[in-house]
Amino acid sequence: MGRKILFITTDQQRYDSLGCNGGQVARTPVVDGLAEHGINYHRAYNQNTVCMPARSTMLTGQYVRTHGVVANGVPLPLDAPSVAAYLRERAGYHTALLGKAHFEPGFDLKNEYPENAMAVNGSTGPYRGFDHAELTMHVPNVGKHFIQHYGKWLLETHGIEACAGFAPLLSAEPGGDTGAPETRINPIPREWYHTDWVADRTIAYLDSLPADADWFVWMSFPDPHHPWDPPASERSRVDWRDLDLPPGHPGSADAIEKVLAQKPEHWLACWEGRWVNAEGGPGSYRPQKVSDDNIREINAMAHIMNELIDDACGRVLSRVAARGWEADTDVFFTTDHGELQGDYGLVFKGPFPTDSLMRLPMVWRPAPSAGVAPSDVSEPVGQVDLAPTFCEIAGVPVPDWMEGAPLPTAPGSGRERALCEWDSQFPGYGMHTRSIYRDGWLCTAYEPSTIGEPNGLEKWFEATGMFGGKGPVSPVAYEGTEGELYDVDDDPQQFVNRWSDPSSRALRDDLVADLYDSLPKERKVLAVERPA
């Protein structure tokens, strides 16, 4: 019997949401305990700031430009390498994915992609190297059409009424106490909500395994991603009326405009409503219509979601211990990307290269039997390093197709940089950025915009007629000379852009050169097939 791996991910969770990372609102004692007895990575970065590219990197151990899922709406090829398949084939691991996958477009009401067709067909796998998969998205249904296994379970077990309290995804529909976008007071009983469902299905899967099994289980919660609609019974956990605006909020409309005016044009244009963040949030979202109280309520809902996730993790870890596996189980906790959550007066995500979206919570509690001392690591690491770490735990060689390296277990690793990319999913937006974190600096180079160049999604717009059959077009275009440069130690909120500061020119040029020298060559150009 060897070491087991419990890989826990959330969706759209900020680094500072956890108590162990300075969070002062949500109570997260379970994950804080993992950090106390394990390794807390304080400079973990994603390799893309939206779901599908980031999740594909975690599964493959490859950079975005290698696996090819450069944006939401690009399905990861079914023959793409999978760490789950590798552990199953090379080390005999039992493998399961419970919760949100999103390696394929979710915008798929005809169930053309396996993730969405599995529940319709009564299948629970195998899928992408996982022996067993039970999946969920953020909402259980669209009308009478259920979405994935959770939606099917909720509709069949508790009826259409149980689904009525979820806010429609990507609608910006106002709700809650304050009329905040994509916020609802959801009457669903807590035990029917998808956070507890994911934990329940994980426990059920673990209970199906023999005592001597080695296993790799990916437990993937769809929260705290919007819609912000946790069970109403839990609202007393955090009252939005008690919250201040987040530290990353400049404090007033004038202050917001002053900060955003230093950044590339789409930042301020988004705030002013001239540029729509259609690739990172609802197309109808307009920042100036989101009040300070709206931001407070959104934050309160996110904190509640994070507390529920922490509770669910505790239940699963208790079951691991009850099975006698605790001493030989490595536990990881991280997310795919962050959330603006009021920083700069904005919410949602998108092409905003900032720690709000790029810096991740990442905790690894090695199996106690491994004898690894607790530690805090500040050298940069990335999602691309997770799959190689799983291989090392399983005692199998890191395959050549993985591009990361096993995570360090203590300071002094010599790691220097983390890389992140953004490429637009809409051909009419055509934005491309490349970012590097190194030596306490976050630097982003903007490449020339490719507005109007086909990338595959234009075929979907033509077929559906949406957005006039052509798709939305950005009014902002970049020449390739623009960028962002922040001293994250002196300016943790990244309010002061030093890209054009003459005194920073040499540093900027060095970082940009290092960025492009360190990125792997682009291997695949895959078509965008759906909006998300």
Per-domain residue ranges for the chain? 4-408+416-518
Query: What is the average per-residue pLDDT within 513-519?
Result: 98
Q: Which residues contact 204 (CB under 8 A, 6 or more apart)?
A: none
Judge contact between 531 and 107, C-beta under 8 A.
yes
By C-alpha distance, which of 397, 396, 375, 398 is closest to 385?
398
pLDDT-derived band at 109, boundaries 50, 70, 90: confident
Other beta carbons within 10 angstroms of residue 522's beta carbon come to 12
Q: Output the CA–CA distances (angstroms, integers) from residue 283 to 75, 104, 182, 279, in the order listed.
A: 22, 21, 12, 8
143 exposed, middle or buried (CB, 10 Å; 0-12, 13-18, 19+)? exposed
pLDDT-derived band at 466, boundaries 50, 70, 90: confident
Q: Alpha helix locations (H) across 42-113?
A: 51-60, 64-67, 83-91
Judge contact between 252 and 129, C-beta under 8 A.
no
CATH number for the segment(s) 4-408+416-518:
3.40.720.10
26 exposed, middle or buried (CB, 10 Å; 0-12, 13-18, 19+)? buried
| C-alpha 268, offset from chain centre | 24
pLDDT-derived band at 169, boundaries 50, 70, 90: confident
Could you tell me what percent of the chain has a pLDDT over 90? 95
- pLDDT given at position 378: 98
DSSP 508: H
Angle at 494 between CA 333 and CA 179, to 5 degrees: 70
Is the confidence at residue 372, as pLDDT, over 90? yes
pTM: 0.98
Task: Quote the mean pLDDT of the chain.
Answer: 97
In this structure, are strands 94-99 and 381-382 parallel, antiparallel, or unpaired?
unpaired
CA distance 34 to 428: 44
Is the confidence at residue 141, as pLDDT, over 90? yes
Give 145's strand partners. Answer: 142
- pLDDT given at position 1: 63
Is the confidence at residue 469, as pLDDT, over 90? no
Query: What is the average per-residue pLDDT within 59-76?
Result: 97
Query: What is the average per-residue pLDDT within 99-109?
Result: 94
Q: Alpha helix locations (H) across 359-465?
A: 386-394, 457-464
Is the confidence at residue 436, as pLDDT, over 70? yes
Query: What is the average per-residue pLDDT within 132-145?
Result: 95
Query: What is the average per-residue pLDDT within 445-452?
Result: 98
In this structure, are strands 362-365 and 39-41 parallel, antiparallel, or unpaired?
antiparallel
Is the confidence at residue 158, as pLDDT, over 80? yes
Judge contact between 284 and 212, C-beta under 8 A.
no
Q: What is the dihedral of CA 222, 385, 124, 338, to 10 degrees?
A: 10
